[in-house]
Amino acid sequence: MAPSTNAVTSIGARIRRSRRTKRMSQAALAGLVERSESWMRGVEAGRINLDKYSVIDRLADVLEVDVAWLLGQPFGFSPDPGHHAVPALRMSLRRTSLGLSGHPGLRPMTPPPLLTDLRADVDRITRRRQAANLFEVMRELPELVESLNTAAFIASGHGRDVVDGLIVETSHVAPTVLNQLGYHDLAWTAVENGATAAARLGDPLLRACSAWERCGVLLHTDTADEVFPIAEAALTELQEVMGMPTPQAISLWGALHLRCAVAAARRHDATSAWAHLAEAEAAAARLGVDRNDFQTVFGPTNCHIHAVEIAVALDQPDIALRRHSEIDLAGLTSKERHTRHRIEVARACGRLKRDSAAVDQLKRAVRLAPQYVYNHPTVRDLVDELCHRAQPSAIDAGLGAIQRAMRPI
């Protein structure tokens, strides 16, 4: 094993961060792996090549970190059902695309399901998504998507409309989990399937919801510039029903503006970001309460939560923490959204170098949804930054436990 110079530097830096997190001296660590202190200094400085896997494995064991993390390798596949379900889900989503396009020669792969059973299955997986149970959702998604494919093959008339609607709903569940596990291509496939089904139904609200989901995937892949034409086209279409809007239309109107606000913040366009947030807040004020139309979890609370995310993206952590202090999270039913918010607050604390507070927020997020936190790339970056600084107060707050829990996914 002969890592490149960059890899050696990365390994040395990771060893140093992990050692500091455990409050261990170079001499102590060197002794535990039967090496000299001068050798350890050379490894951490990148001057000595770690060319024996047995030594790397021993260092990882002593430091209580994963070998792949120590080597800086991409996240590997652990034996969890989230990743194991991906091949089957990939095939099922592809069959959905072919079925929606009217491709000839396709055959059902599952027994014909009852529409009432499918309705119950979609409701259950939606609840699990809102609870941020990523792996449970992934376990069920392939079979559910394939059952919907079979139903689409055999249904007609009103029954086919019902199935298309369920495909739209399921296509809103899948991207959240797929994005979190890093399968952005599949997330986009799921969203496009939902958009095709929504277009077949001809419902402007479902089309707007599909645009909202498309924007979500684009934000996950850091392609913020593409968010605006998609969101603006959907807002233009929604304008036709905003004269006497339903609560569902108001929710989508506000949720699309939140997508634009986040995209603008990531482009460091503060004026546009806060303007879109103001539009969303006006829509939330019209509703007066938090709702969950089309899984948008839109309302006054969600606007406050997005204000924190926007402020963090604009590198205004003090504003983020002030907006956080104004939020009453008691009524927020989505554990996923609550968890995401705690991560953003932790990032704000980290920007201000309030590292122990950042660790506290991450611990709160872990208590809500550990799968979601440990599989979140932003959290990995934040923990890496906190470990680099290795503030004693952050270590005392439990930084090491969070770092050790973040195994490759």
Query: Between 76 and 29, where is the model more confident?
Result: 29
* pTM of the entire predicted model: 0.78
pLDDT band at 157 (very low <50, low <70, confident <90, very high): very high
DSSP codes of every residue in 321-367: HHHHHT--GGG---HHHHHHHHHHHHHHHHHTT-HHHHHHHHHHHHH
pLDDT at 47 over 80: no
405 pLDDT above the threshold of 70 = yes
pLDDT of 62 over the 50 cut: yes
Whether the per-residue pLDDT at 185 is higher than 80: the answer is yes
Q: Is pLDDT above 50 for 76?
A: no
pLDDT on residue 72: 63
Q: What is the pLDDT of residues 82-116, one digit of tens each?
A: 678 888 999 999 999 999 988 877 888 888 899 99
User: What per-residue confidence (pLDDT) applies to 236?
Assistant: 96
User: Where do the domains of the chain lie, and which CATH numbers do they carry?
Assistant: 5-71 (1.10.260.40), 77-201 (no CATH)
What are the tokens at 373? 């936190």
pLDDT per position as a tens digit, 122-153: 999 999 988 888 888 998 999 999 999 999 99
Share of the chain above pLDDT 90, in %: 58
**Helix intervals (H) in 131-202:** 134-154, 158-181, 184-201
Confirm if 41 and 32 have CB atoms less than 8 A apart: no
Q: Give the sign of the dihedral formed by CA 382, CA 388, CA 389, CA 392.
A: positive
Q: What is the pLDDT, as a whole number, of residue 52? A: 67
pLDDT at position 73 is 52
Output the pLDDT for position 9: 41
Mean pLDDT of 33-46: 87
Cα–Cα dist 198/84, whole Å: 29
How much is the average pLDDT of 217-234?
90
| pLDDT score of 67 more than 60 | yes
* Residue-wise pLDDT tens digits, 352-384: 999 999 999 999 999 998 888 988 878 988 998
Q: What is the pLDDT of residue 4?
A: 36
Whether the predicted pLDDT of 234 surpasses 60: yes
pLDDT band for position 53 (cuts 50, 70, 90): low
Question: Do the beta carbons of residue 329 and residue 338 sit within 8 Å?
Answer: yes
d(CA 164, CA 367): 36
Rounded to an integer, the average pLDDT of 18-37 is 87
Least confident of 22-36, 46-60, 115-129, 226-240: 46-60
**Which helix (DSSP H) or strand (DSSP E) does residue 53 occupy?**
helix 53-63
Q: Which residues contact 80 (CB under 8 A, 6 or more apart)?
A: 135, 409
Question: pLDDT, tens digit, for every residue of 263-316?
Answer: 999 999 999 999 999 999 999 999 999 999 998 999 999 999 999 999 999 999
Average pLDDT over the chain, rounded to an integer: 88
Question: Where is average pLDDT lowest: 163-167, 394-398, 403-407?
Answer: 403-407
pLDDT at 77 over 50: no
Rounded average pLDDT over 204-218: 93
| Local confidence band at 64 (pLDDT 50, 70, 90 cut-offs) | confident
Q: What is the pLDDT of residues 290-304, one digit of tens each?
A: 999 998 999 999 999
**Residue 45 confidence class, pLDDT cut points 50, 70, 90:** confident
- What does the pLDDT average to over 249-265? 97
